[in-house]
Chains A and B, each alone.
Chain A
């Protein structure tokens, strides 16, 4: 038996026929750019998140970039984020000309709200908390600080569609939120895609223009901008996937809690905090001798990954920011222990049992 890190079981999935039908309807319509499916998906997604507005985009990176621009963040500004995320959380800050300022995380892998205030300067304009792995960040505390210092809050919700804090979904907490709909995410297109949510009517208006060349209408260009639209075809497929998301998420959660029971004796398993609804986009354990364990699992047919072995502040791209490895001790420590195990709807109990057995064997040696 093998346990691959991802499994795309479309061939026999009950929704296969619906997806093909949706494909064909879009093809036959001849309307491939910002058509009715994009508009409908945006509405359905906004409703799902409990946010007034949503806007489809080409991917989660472009979303972050264009939201930062729409917020007017640029040269000379600072934006606070966490160093243990996917590179785009920070690279988009650099892309608009601002400086990423990192703040360490806690063991939940999310930004430590109690360390944010120390990092705020007169140049700070925004905070980008990441709901990493599908677990919501400490939004109450973060919003309080943002209010106190008059900062924007941009949720990087790329990994956490559907997650909740106090019953309220991510994407409805900050001034705006960015979601990635890449095929490896819980709600996914069949290629790159993204969507943003916001409660700010001015921001959504600016954003909608900025993702389409700065065009107010076909003939009027208000500002030079980019082409970052969600494909109509992907939107049609996303609408079908969205209908399945809640039961896929439930299946993920059941499997995650089952893993927790099996693995608790050997590794630190991911928790769900009080008032949290964790969607386990990645199932991350903290393991001693992580590299050897990962190799042992791989040698025995289980694909475990590390998200991410090199924190952003230690990437060559970040050299100009002049951070040292130990500037963020928790991040640094965690980067040596984190390991992502295979978890997705369709993963079988037998596969989970095998993973647990291998891990137990490893630690008994």
Chain B
């Protein structure tokens, strides 16, 4: 794991206050009891990461990796089984009361809003929970609704909103307490591409304002576009913490080509092309070509098209494949 910016300084200085990293998680574990008294399920296993103020940190992992569990621990709604987590130097268990005003949390999905209240009423309610009086709550609600593009729908009940609109309202809710640290758990799930694009702009603004953002996602393109650093998590363990350019490079290096109506002889010719790692048959005449070198997909496409195959498409590698490459390349056998 690469040390986070400012982490060494923070250790040298005080352990509380704003010179400490915005988020500092060490040796965090969390077990869940399973039904019928089976062995506990380990959702987080000796997990660690740091996020500096003004950093957008991506937490990338497949479903069930433990992303939400970490978000819940940071937001004080779930107690960890072992390890420490600090927000600006304050322990999320021992100092939970002082951590809460510093944090904004956006849990993905449709939950956590009053469906029958209007967007503005919802935000005013949450503003009050962060201690803002009525007038200030109104001001913040109006300002944030504009900011997330819900201004014209402010006085409509949330139950009439699309999923993406609810998601934007969640974001506004997360910001209503003016948090130093924002935890976003899969914030773009259900957003259309335009909203997702606007969302990126918003996250960049948050970074510019010096807030720390921890963003979980299973969307590699999103992580690459938005984050200053990316932590890979799987099975509750931190695989690695990387510059997102590494991710971008992996994505282009391991581009895949999918085609159908490919005779066996043609498939063999493609397998012999430079940079092609594997040609897998995915059905009668259908193949999936995996490349292992930047630009290797191009000759594959050309060969296919010249041979008269018209049903051809390219796609980035899946998260699982990127994981395998990440682990394989540096001989880091994390999973059995």
Q: Do A and B come from one complex?
A: no
Chain B residues proximal to chain A, CB less than 8 Å = none
